Amino acid sequence: MPSSRRLARLITDTPHLRQASAVVEIGPGTGAFTTSILEQKRPDALFLAVELNGTFVQMLKHRHPGVEFYHDSAAHVQTYLRKHGRETCDCIICGMPWGIFDETLQRSLLAAICDVLEPGGEISTFAYLGGPWLKPGRRFKRMLPEYFSKVTVSRMIWMNMPPAFVYRCVK
């Protein structure tokens, strides 16, 4: 089920996005956050997105023709930044379902994200209400401080189905 506009506004309501020279969206899915990113990012900022589902990529390319969408794993995000002459980005907005990934995949993706995130850069990602009580969700929450110097948790968005909150993590 696509994320609500309230969750999209919350996950993109960060100065890191508004000030970034390069923004990456990882796991845009059906694009629930993409429009909000486009509304808030600097006009001159590089913006690209990496999505594993090919059907979603085609739909997103049609809906947002000015955005660079790549059909690939988030583990390869650096390849696409390099394609645009960048090694790193300032801000990542992430819609990946961390709570269903095994530990190896969680660690692999977090490492790839840390590799491309500037020091002081931020990733905003979300989890559902029940996520932190399930084993993969608990593990993900415990891992975040291993990769990031600052981790904060937002208020709950009850009007999302299911209710969700945002993790903001600064490298």
pLDDT tens digits for 94-145? Answer: 999 998 999 999 999 999 999 999 999 999 999 988 766 678 888 999 999 9
φ, ψ dihedrals at 158, nearest 5°: -70, -25
Domains along the sequence of the chain with CATH: 5-170 (3.40.50.150)
Q: How many CA atoms lie within 13 A of 94 on its CB side?
A: 26
Q: What is the pTM of this model?
A: 0.94
Burial level of 22, CB count in 10 A (0-12/13-18/19+)?
A: buried
d(CA 47, CA 69): 9
